Structure 1
C-alpha cells in the first residue's frame, strides 16, 4: 500500500517480492525489483499464478518458463467444489490461503519442494443433498477437506460437538499432511521400531480404535500425560498426525515471533531470565530444548493478550513430558540429513 508495487510470493526464494511489469519480454510477464525499486539484475522473469488473475485467489508467482499456468501450491489441488456457487468460491479461497501457509512451512523444513519427493495432492469437496458426507482425511497421498470447514459457524459447531479446544483450517491441513509424511519419513524412513516404542503399534485396528475413541464421549483427561490432544490417544497414526501438526504450529509461531525480534520474560519478580525468540529455521537450527524454553513463555504471552481482548486462548494446550518426547521425535526426524 505504501509504494504501490505488485507483491507476490516467490517459492524458489521463499520470500515476498515486489514485481515490475516487463511487457518488453512478453505478455503478462513480471521482473523482480531490486534494491530501491531498481530492476533485478539476475534477469529472472515471473508470471502470476492463473488463480490470481481468474479468482484473485493466489499470491504466488512462478518462473516465466514454467510449464503450468498454476503455481506450485495451486497445482497440487486436483479437485475443486463447484465454484459457480458463491459460497464455495469464498470457502475455496480461504482453504487455498491456508494451504499456501502449509506449503511455506514444509518448504522451510526441506520437505516441499524437494528433489525425488513429491508432496501430497488435495481434493476440496462440498456435501451434496442426499449424498454421502465428505470426510476430511488422507488416503494414498491425497488429502481431502470438506469445504464446510471454511465456514466459521460450522467449524465452531463441529469443534464443540467433538470436544476439541482447537479447530482451524491450517490445523486440518497440518494434521492431514502428517499422515502423508508418516508414509514418507517413518514407514519408508526405516524408523518404524523407534516410532512404535514411543507412539505404539500402528498395526492396531484403526477403525475399531476410532469407534472406541468416539464412544467415550466426554474428555476423561487420561490422555494428558502422554499425548498432545485427546484425539491423539485414539490410535498411533493419529498420535503422530496430531504431534506433527503441533510441531508445525510450534515452528511457524516461533518464526513469526522471531521475525518481530520478540524478547520476553515471565512476569514474576523471581524469574529474571529473559527469552529472545530465535528463528527455528536459522542455520544452525536451534536445539529442541531451546525451542521449548522459548515456546512456553511465548504461548503464555499469546494467551494473555487474547484474554485481555476478551478472546479465548489462541493456544489451548499444556504440553506434558510425554507429549514433548513425541515432539522431540518429530524434530529429530526432520533434522536428519536427507537420504542419498
Structure 2
C-alpha cells in the first residue's frame, strides 16, 4: 500500500504520467500491442495473455516445460504457471496461478463458495459480469496491500462469495455481508433490473462493482477496526456501531435519510447506521483510488483546468498532523478536479454524471481515517 500510494502521489504531482515505469493499467504484449486488465489474448498477434497478481501485470505467456504450463514473458522468476481453470467457463477468468496450486483455480476464483446455477441460460452472462467486477475488486485489494484469504472449505475466517438467484420457492437472496461471506443477487448483473431498483431506492448510481466494494467494506471493518486500537476513533467519526442495526434499518426505510444528510455523509444510505456509513465511505475510497490511478496511468490530467473549487486543507483531515497529510490532500484535491472534468464529459454525451456526489469536510475526514486504517496507521 505504501508503494502504491507513493507512486500515485508522484503521478498526481507530475504534469503527465511518468515515463520511468510502465503504468499499472496498460501493459505491453510481446508484439508491442497495448493490453488491458481483462485481456486473455492479444488482438494483434493472438498471443495468450494472463494476469499475474504478485506483480500486478498482464503479460504474454510463453510455453512452459509441460502440458498446460506457461512462463510469464519478462518475468522468468515467477516460475511455472497455469491459467485459471475458469478461463473457458462463462467466468472467462484470465488470471494465473502457480503450477503447484492443487485445485487449478486462481485466488479470485477460490473465493467463490457458490456460483450461479449454470443450468439457467441467463446465468451465463450474469456470472461473467459478476466475475469481471469481482476480479477488479480483488486485484485492487491486493494492490492496496490488504489481506485477501479464501475461507477454508467455505467456512471459518477469510472471505467468500455466494452468487445466488431466486430459489425454488420464489425467494430472492438478500445482498449483504455476514462474517466474511458476501451474498449477491445475480439479477444485479441485469442492467434493466438493476436500474429499476436504483430508481425505486432513489440512488444516484448502482453498479456491480459498487455493491462488491461496499460489502467488502463490512469485511474489512471486522478485520481492521472491530478489535483494534482505533475503534474509539471510528466511533468519534462514524458513530457508535453498538446502536441496534435492526432498529436503524427499520427507521431508515420508514423515514428515509435526513434532509441534511450530505453535510456529513457520502450518501443517503450512509446515514442508516455507523456500519453502513463506514461501508459506503470505504466503497468511495476504493472508487477514488482506482479511478484516479487509472486516469493518471492513461495520461489524463486536470491540472490545467480553471476550476473554482477551494482545495481541502490539513485541518479538514482526520489527523491534520499526520506526516503524510499533504500526500492525502493531493489525492483528494486531484480527485475533485478529475471528477469535475469527467462529469462534464459525461454530460456532453447526455449521460448521468460520472461521479454524482459532493464531498463535504466531514466526509473527507472519514476518507482520511479509512486511508490510515488501510495503511495500519489509524490508531
Q: TM-score, normalised by structure 2?
A: 0.79
- Report the equivalent of 1:152: 191
Partner of 2:21: none
Alignment of 1:26-65 (within 5 A): 26-34=66-74, 40-42=75-77, 44-55=79-90, 57-65=92-100
**How far apart, CA to CA, are the structure 2 residues paired with 1:336 and 1:220?**
33
Structure 1 residue 113, shift from structure 2 partner: 3.9
Structure 1 residue ranges, 4+ long, deviating more than 4 angstroms after superposition = none
How many Å apart are 1:12 and its aligned residue? 1.7
Equivalent in 270, 273, 285 of residue 232 of structure 1: 270
Return the offset for 1:27: 1.2
Matched, 1:264 2:302: yes
Q: Which moved more, 1:66-75 or 1:328-337?
A: 328-337
Q: Aligned equivalents of 1:20 and 1:79: distance in 2?
A: 33
1:66 deviation in Å? 1.2
1:81 alignment counterpart: 116
> Deviation digits for residues 296-322 of structure 1, max 9, x if unmatched?
010011111111111111111001111
Which 5+ residue runs of structure 1 have no aligned equivalent?
35-39, 274-283
1:324 to 342, 360, 364: 364
Equivalenced residues, count: 319
* 1:163 is aligned to 2:205: no
Whether 2:167 is the aligned partner of 1:128: answer yes
CA contact 1:46–1:62 (8 Å) conserved in 2: yes
Matched, 1:143 2:182: yes
Find the counterpart in structure 2 of residue 244 from structure 1. 282
2-side partners of 1:125 and 1:158: how far apart?
17
Verify the 8 A CA contact 2:90 2:125 in the aligned structure 1: no
Contact 1:149–1:155, Cα closer than 8 Å, also in 2? yes
Query: 1:101 maps to which residue?
Result: 136
Q: CA deviation at 1:338?
A: 11
1:244 aligns to what SS in structure 2?
A: helix
Distance of 1:261 and 1:54 partners within structure 2: 34
User: Hey, what does 1:208 align to over in structure 2?
Assistant: 247
The change in CA–CA distance for 1:157 and 1:6 in structure 2 (over 3 A counts) is: same
Q: Does the CA contact (< 8 Å) of 1:223 and 1:230 recur in 2?
A: yes
Q: Give the Cα–Cα distance (whole angstroms) in 1 for the partners of residues 87 and 112 of structure 2.
A: 15
The answer for the alignment partner of 1:14 in structure 2 is 56
**Alpha-carbon distance between aligned partners in 1 of 2:106 and 2:325, rounded to the nearest angstrom:** 29
Structure 2, unpaired ranges of 5+ = 1-42, 150-155, 312-323
Q: Distance in 2 between matches of 1:132 and 1:119?
A: 27
Cα-Cα RMSD: 2.4
Between 1 and 2, higher relative CO (CA 8 Å, sep ≥ 6) is seen in 2
**2: CA distance between counterparts of 1:83 and 1:318?**
41
User: 1:190: how far off?
Assistant: 2.3
1:184 to 215, 223, 227: 223
Q: Does 1:92 align with 2:130?
A: no
Is the partner of 1:12 in helix, strand or coil? Answer: helix
SS in 1 for 2:100: coil
CA contact (8 A) 1:221 1:230 kept: no
Determine if contact 2:91/2:127 at 8 Å carries over to the other structure: no
For 2:243 and 2:378, the matched residues in 1 are separated by: 30
